[in-house]
Structure 1
Amino acid sequence: MQDFAGEAASLFAAQSRLEAESPRRRSDTFDEPILRLLLNGVPDKAIAARLQVSERTIQRHVRILLAKVGARNRMQLGQILACRSNPHPHPQPHPQRLTEFDAQILKMLLQGQAESAIAETLSVSRRTVQRSVKGMMSRAGAANRVQLGWHAQRSGWI
């Protein structure tokens, strides 16, 4: 499994310098730990247990993070974090290329479309879209969609 959080260290350092200039809110204290844990593939329930808050609080903070970076979903969040941590990445080719179908689904998810809208556009079932995403996550070694977005950006899948 890749160390997604290790690559994000420079992003957090730059982000903390920028945030030092603006007043901090109580919710900002959860941003970095939540992002680190998401990038390590930790599920919301386990993040909540580690931070000693409710799962609903974690989900609320993730929505706040999505809004802060302008992402529509967790996969976009991973992609944006990958871009911000290294603005001029040299894609590391992944030995397993995506099928045309998977590439279409990935592109649509990264544009912020919902699984049901993608299924309707491609004339397939929602379950087919879910299976495709699960297969991409398996190939990328990603435990969640944040990691998949990160990997897609880093490996040149998009």
Structure 2
Amino acid sequence: MRKLYVAAHVYMILGLISGLAYREITKIQEYTGDTQLGVVHTHLLALGMLFFLIVLGLEKLFGLTENRRLFATFFWVYNASLAVTIATMVVHGTLTVYGKESNEAIAGIAGLGHIGLTVGLVLLFINLGKRVPKNRAADAE
């Protein structure tokens, strides 16, 4: 459970720092248009901090970490994929602010990050499905 708390805390810190960085980079460059940097903040807070706080609650209720292998696979796939997704957003957004063109490789890598997030979510739901009681009698316990 501590691992989930630490993950949520790290994403909270990164989310707040990314919001500040977005504000400062665009102010220094006098950039007023749309950029991916503007949504890195919310992605980190929602897909990172809030997500892991919810998983922490699910762990408390259903013991998701009892299946260590499945939980560890979910945890690392999801985190690595979120890191890839966020990194490509930062690169694409920074290039936009500095007036450079992004290429197809950035979009492809971002796509891989999103696929990984999907795999992580599927693994979470497989684990959750194994832990949630299947009948009402089990629910009452």
Q: Taking structure 2 as the reference length, what is the TM-score of the superposition? A: 0.30
**Which of the two has greater helix per residue?**
2
Greater Cα radius of gyration, structure 1 or 2: 2
Which structure ranks higher in relative contact order (CA pairs < 8 Å, sequence separation ≥ 6)? 1
Q: Taking structure 1 as the reference length, what is the TM-score of the superposition? A: 0.28
